[in-house]
Homo-oligomer: A and B are copies of this chain.
């Protein structure tokens, strides 16, 4: 306790509390001499302004809430890291909330978020349409990350999952693949659904079947036999982790990639680039997505408008499907 306050600094520097306050804000009107004296006194006392007290007046906390759902994939931890970094560059700190996927948690989390008075929200968590009113009520700027609002009331930055899946698919078709199986992600996951739709639409009659998955490496291994039973010449996995799992599951069955069957992933994670997997995959432009998300949020926080952005992923050809 015994927190050092602006009054302590004021006393020490022989000025008033308001002078101290002004010395610590860019546009505060103080003479250079007093400011120097105040900063010196502050240094001696180890004073740091209390941002919470400040925010009570200014209405700004410099905190941004990031809502992420725990996932089995290797993608989100990367996203969190990138976001924290990008926010930091904008002088914001990241307050992290995990929604464990259960829908009822979303309400709870949103209430918590609002209690912390964050300046903005970045969410990669799904919310049901009837939460719309609740979110609107928060009056906190929000940007969806790789999720879209059907009516675009809440702006978003996404990687075009449909088109990415379609691009990957046509590349396979152009390379002569005709029997293509799919390993899907959890059906309640936004990106999983859109990747799946995009693939199926583009595949047409080349689609020999879909097997359900959960985005994990282990599930890729477990589903390999079932996929192989469909006699595919290529297997499209809806994320990288599962693709690696499928490759390994197939190996156990004596089936080699790419000799016997091609395998593709989706995401462009670091693990997918490991030489022993070297996945053909669709790379989501994480860097751009993150910086666009932050600038969109910045715009909203400054009362400006912003539009939803849809970025295109980049096809990466590895040895798992040598297009």
Contact = CB atoms under 8 A, between A and B. Distances in A.
Interface stretch (A52-60, A162-170, A258-266): A52-60
Interface stretch (A76-84, A122-130, A190-198): A76-84
Contacts of A271: 74, 271, 274
Given A1-B139, A48-B111, A117-B52, A251 B275 contact: yes
Interface in A93-121: 93-98, 111-112, 114-117
Nearest to A216: B270
A81 B70 contact: yes
B56 A274 contact: no
A95 B98 contact: no
Contacts of A116: 51-52, 63, 93
A76 to B, nearest CB: 8
Interface in A220-272: 221, 244, 247-248, 251, 270-271
A93 B93 contact: no
Nearest to A111: B48
Contacts of A61: 52
Given A94-B96, A248-B275, 17 more contacts: A46-B137, A48-B111, A48-B114, A49-B115, A50-B115, A50-B117, A51-B116, A51-B117, A52-B116, A63-B95, A63-B116, A70-B81, A80-B81, A88-B97, A96-B96, A248-B276, A274-B276
Interface of A: 1-2, 46, 48-53, 55-56, 59, 61, 63, 70, 74, 76-78, 80-81, 84-85, 88, 93-98, 111-112, 114-117, 134, 137, 139, 217, 221, 244, 247-248, 251, 270-271, 274-277
